[in-house]
Structure 1
Amino acid sequence: MRVVVGGGTGFVGRALTQLLRSRGHEVTHISRQGGKDRISWEELSHSGLPLCDAVVNLAGENVLNPFCRWNDAFCREVISSRVETTKTLAKAIADAEQPPHAWVLVTGVGYYRPSPTAEYTEDSPGGDFDFFSRLVSSWEAAALTPGSPARGVVVRSGIVCHALESEHLQGILNGVAPSSPYTSNGTFAQELAAALGRPALLPVPAWAVRAVFGAERAVMLLEGQRVVPKHTLESGYHFIFPDLSGALKDIVA
């Protein structure tokens, strides 16, 4: 397929691009600047959607960017970066002479690394997993508040590819691994420490998380959602690592 990916140069976008190309698909990115295999958002608005079979939108400001204060301006940027890019793509699809047959919108916040090949790994650094693993491997804290939140192990690249390649698939596909929908930070820390052969000693206090991210964003890390991927499993998607322990051991290995 010919796939156009909004936000394809970002964290998840790079993993998805690698996966799609490894499966023989052509990928064109939409980003701030044009270039090889890439068009700009401005070019998309003026010239329309390139001929393609599928469109994915991953664009959006990083909600958990610790270098940006959680104020009105940043909130507007978070919303605008998602809503406006989605509107632009939706209009381009509606105006296309030959519209794509698949349209995937990725929403929500993922806490663990997506993977082009093995669900939970990616060559490039980044993401919450790196934060935890650096802490544990240096014999320091690995958890936030020990009892909460319920943290799903998020998988995105493989599910997006599955959605694109599956005919007549519609609706919401949750990317939480089926055996780990209720994993607390404390449990995550213990599992990661065990995989690394290190102790998980000192939990990071909630006040420190609020100090770094602000009260509203800290909710995403200190509280959780209990999500089960019912529709994802019913659609025929196979999780390579359905449980946290196996995923972490594969990453560490």
Structure 2
Amino acid sequence: MAQLNGLKHVVVGGGTGFIGSQLIKSLNLVGISCTCISRMPGPNRISWHDLEHHGLPENTSAVINVTGQNILDPMQRWSSGFKQNVWNSRVKTTKALADSIQNTKATIFATISGVAYYKPNDTVYTEKSICESYDFLSRLCHDWEEAAKLPESSNIRQVTIRSGVVLGREGGMIKNIYFPFWAGLGGPLGSGNQYMPWIHITDLVGMFIYALTNNNVDGILNGVAPQLITNKEFTKAFATSLNRFAIIPVPSVFLKMLFNEERAKIMLEGQKVTPKRVTELGFQYQYPDIESACKQLVKSHTT
């Protein structure tokens, strides 16, 4: 997989974040140099201001955008200002990169979106499923994906990965719940019967790299594991991997008070999403089931 199908230099929007830092690390391991776009200065980085005024580096072969303000930051009140920051951090950055990439020789533009694109119900969604926007989070995903679209005349291949809950020790949900579960204070969220589309960070990064590597990959990919589970099933698997009990549910009313009802939907409602195209394209998951994923999460913490 030398030079990843001829790609020499990848620009990663949000490269200092949970997903972006893992992407850069994995690309570097296979000999691909990266430039990170970030608000924080540092080596091999440019700022969003630099992008606006100077464009992408001349040697850019591919662009990936995984930038996004943490929606579930409990320190942030769910205000109109914070919601605008959430929108800007995803939509405006994606649009800026979509505009900039057209002035380069890059061959692929890969972006992230979310499974909130799909409405929570009993429907089993594949990449071909079409859903109208119905609330802030779904509108965000629609606008996010629209911002990434390049002109039909463009020769740049496009991939959008609609990610589920990303499981990894360095960030996201697991970073927040690890010690409560370790202390025996974990439990299902609300009823726990809501579906929880998920993916291990290793597989999400692998999916992006697979998209870079294979010229036949384009369009929408559901960035979720093939195993459909509920929040209650995740809770049991994670607690078991820690040799802990996790039977006391976190009341819905508490989550709504802490995060606001609109934002709490992320945790209390879920979609049945399957990666039909992903498996048809031949992508191989390292962690296709929640038991193996949770065992790795615990092992990575103890080693």
Q: Is the structural similarity TM-score above 0.5?
A: yes
Structure 1 SS opposite 2:64: strand
**Aligned positions, number:** 240
The amino acid of 2:86's aligned partner reads V
* Paired-residue identity, %: 38
Query: Is 2:188 aligned against 1:130?
Result: no
Q: What CA distance in whole angstroms lies between the structure 1 residues aligned with 2:223 and 2:73?
A: 22
Q: What CA distance in whole angstroms lies between the structure 1 residues aligned with 2:246 and 2:68?
A: 33
Q: What CA distance in whole angstroms lies between the structure 2 residues aligned with 1:184 and 1:85?
A: 32
1:168-179 aligned within 5 A: 168-179=216-227
Q: What CA distance in whole angstroms lies between the structure 2 residues aligned with 1:235 and 1:203?
A: 39
Hey, which bits of structure 1, 4+ residues long, moved more than 3 A?
none
Q: CA deviation at 1:110?
A: 4.3
Query: Is 2:89 aligned against 1:85?
Result: no
Structure 1 SS opposite 2:221: coil
Q: What CA distance in whole angstroms lies between the structure 2 residues aligned with 1:141 and 1:47?
A: 48
Give the alignment's TM-score, normalised by structure 2. 0.76
Give the alignment's TM-score, normalised by structure 1. 0.90
Query: Is 2:201 aligned against 1:194?
Result: no
1:105 aligns with 111
Counterpart selection for 2:289 from 243, 247, 251: 243
Q: 1:141 to 1:34 in 2, by over 3 A?
A: closer
1:23 aligns with 30
Q: CA deviation at 1:146?
A: 3.4
Counterpart selection for 1:215 from 261, 264, 275: 261
Query: Is 2:48 aligned against 1:41?
Result: yes
Aligned partners of 2:164 and 2:199 also within 8 Å: yes
CA-to-partner distance for each residue in 1:4-34, whole Å, 9 max, x for gaps?
Answer: 0001011111111111111211111011244
Q: What CA distance in whole angstroms lies between the structure 2 residues aligned with 1:112 and 1:29?
A: 21
Structure 2 SS opposite 1:248: helix
CA-to-partner distance for each residue in 1:159-198, whole Å, 9 max, x for gaps?
Answer: 111111111311111111112x2x1111111111111111
Counterpart selection for 1:6 from 13, 18, 22: 13
1:230 aligns with 276
Q: What CA distance in whole angstroms lies between the structure 2 residues aligned with 1:136 and 1:148?
A: 19
Q: What CA distance in whole angstroms lies between the structure 2 residues aligned with 1:158 and 1:40?
A: 26
1:157 aligns with 205
CA-to-partner distance for each residue in 1:219-249, whole Å, 9 max, x for gaps?
Answer: 0100001100011111211001110011111
Query: Which stretches in structure 1 are left out of the alignment for 5+ residues?
Result: 114-120
Superposed CA RMSD? 1.5
Task: Name whichever structure is richer in strand by fraction.
Answer: 2
2:103 aligns with 95
